[in-house]
Structure 1
C-alpha cells in the first residue's frame, strides 16, 4: 500500500502554519507559514526539500492563502492528498479524541468559542475556508484539550459553585495535549519502556508553556486550566496570579476587564518581568551582559517551572523521567539546569556536558550518572496531528 500524505493546518487569527506529512518520511515534504493575513504585506512562505520561496498576497485572508497553498500541497504530494488535519485549541468536554469534521462536529466546536475566544474562532476560519476549497478531502480536527480529558475530577475541578461547572463548563481543560502526548510516547520508545506502564513529567516550554503528569499514556494533571493563561510564566502571559488581582486593579487603578485581560496575556510573563523581551534567547544574552530584568525573568521562570513540576509529581505512582520539549525546552541548557537545580528532593541532577550539547534538534538523556532519567525530546505536533488524522481515516 503506498504511503499516504496528510496536510496539517494550524490557523491563527492572522496566520496559517502548515506542513505536508508523509507517513513514511521523517522530514516534512512541504512546510511553511502564511503570516500578516489581512494586511497589505500578507505573505506565504514555504519550504520544499532544500528550496525556499515566498509569495506576497496583499490583503489576502485565510481563504486566499489556502487557495495558494493547495496547489503547492497537491504538487508536493504527487496529486495524492489523503486528508487534512486541523489543529483546534479547545474541544471542551465534547471531544476526547480526534474527530471527523461534519456539521455536528462544527457546531460543537462553535459552542466552545466562549471557552477559547482568542483561538477557536481562528481555527474555525481555517476549517471553513479549507472545507470550501477542498470539499472532497476528508477533514479531521485534532484538539489540544482532548489528551487531558483523562484528568480525574480532583485534578480538573475548581473549588467553585457546582452550577458553574454543570451549566457553563467552568473547569480545568489543559492545552498542548498533542505535544505532551507525542513526546511522552517518544520518550518511552527512547527509554525502551512500555508507554502503558510508565510515568513521566513533561515541560513543554515555548512562548506558551505548560507541564503535564502522564501515567501509562494518559494525562493525569497539567498546569494550564480553563484557558491557556493558568500555570507557568510564559513569553507574554503571566501564568498564575492572585485571583483577586482583577478586583484590586479595578478598584485602585480603574482598569477595565479588557485592559486587565490584555495585560495578563500580552504584556506580562518574561516580557513584563524583564521589561525587555519575551524571547528567551534575547534574555539569556542580556543576562550575560548584566541586565537585571533579564536575570530576574529567568530566575522566576525557572523557579515557577520547578514548583509546577514538583506539584505534578503528586499525580505519579513513580517517576520514569522528566522530559523537556518546545523551543526553550529543546534549546536552553541554562533553563534546564536552573530548573533541575530546584528539584533536589526528586533526586534530579544533570550531566553538564550532556546538557550543554543537547540543543538544536538533538535529543537524548542529559541526567547525571545514577540519577533519575531526564530527556530532551523534540516535539512534533504536526506529525502527531497527521498520525491522529490517519488513525481516524483508517
Structure 2
C-alpha cells in the first residue's frame, strides 16, 4: 500500500539578471521591471489549484528556487508566505530556503527576509576566483560573494549553504582547493560541491568553453576537495552535498527520500502521492513566465500531469535514494512505491554481486565503488522499455 510521505513546497521564481551559459534551469533574463505583486497573486492561485491534492497534510519545508529568487523584495516573499500559511498547514519551525545570487545582495535585505520567515539562505557562489566567474558568466566577483555571506551572517543567519563548482574552464587543482578553502573560512553550515557539466540546450553545450579540465583532473579535484571537507567537519550525506552534523538540507533530503512536493510557479515540477487512489502523480507548469502568469490557477497553467506507473517507480525511487550515503530501508521502498520488495530483488542482487550495493543493519547502501558507477547502478532498475521518468524539480545542486 502506498503511504503518503512528508510534503514540501517548491516555489519557482524564474527571472535572473543574466542567463548563465551553463544553466539549464527554467530561468529568464529580466529585461524590464518585474511584476512582483502579480507573480505572488499567481503563485497563490496556483497553490489553491493543487490544494485538493494535499488536504490536511503538513508542509515540512519551503524552497524558493530560480532563476534568482533574491531579485524579489522581502515584502513579496512575506506576502506569499503569509498566504501559503493560510492555505496549508506549516510544521512549527519548518525550513524555509531562499536561493540567492551574491550579485543581488543588498544591505538590510537579509534582515527583512529573516523577518518574513526565511531561515536558510543558499548562495550561488560557484567560485571565488574572478577569472573563473567571468568565464562562467556570473554577475558577481569573489569579493561580492564574501561580502554577501557576511551580510547574511550579520543579519543572524547561521544556516547557510554555499554552492561551489569545480572542473571549471582553465581551473587547476590548486584553484579548486583555494575556492573551497575560501568557502570554508566563511563557516557555512552546508556546502553543495559539484562538477560543471555541459547540459543540453545551453550555450556551453553549443559552444564548449576552452581549457576544460579532463576527467582525471576533475576526479583529482573531487577527491582532494572531499578530503578537505571531511577534515573540516563536513559529512558527505549525498552525492554533492556536505553538511555539519544536523544541518543537512531538509528540503532536498525529502526529494532524495522520494518524498512529495507541491511545485508552483513557471516551470515548477511537483510529485504527489494520492493514498485513496493508490497513485503517484508528477505535475509541472508551463515554462514561460508570461504564459504561466496568464493561466495560473487553472488547468491551462499545467504543462503536464502524468501518473508514475508501477513499472517506473523502482527506477524513480533508486534515482533519488541511491544519491544518499544513508541508502534506504526496504520497508520505505514498499511504503513510497506501493510495490513489494520482490519488485527490486533481481537488480539488487546484480548490484550486490558487482560490489555496488551492500546491506548493513537492514539498510541497502551504496559502496564507494557504487558511488563511482552510480549511473550504472541506477540503470539496473530501469523499466524494460529503457525509458526513465522526469528527474524532478530544480534543487540545490
TM-score normalised to structure 2 length: 0.28
Higher relative contact order (CA closer than 8 Å, sequence separation 6+): 2
Higher relative strand content: 2
TM-score normalised to structure 1 length: 0.28
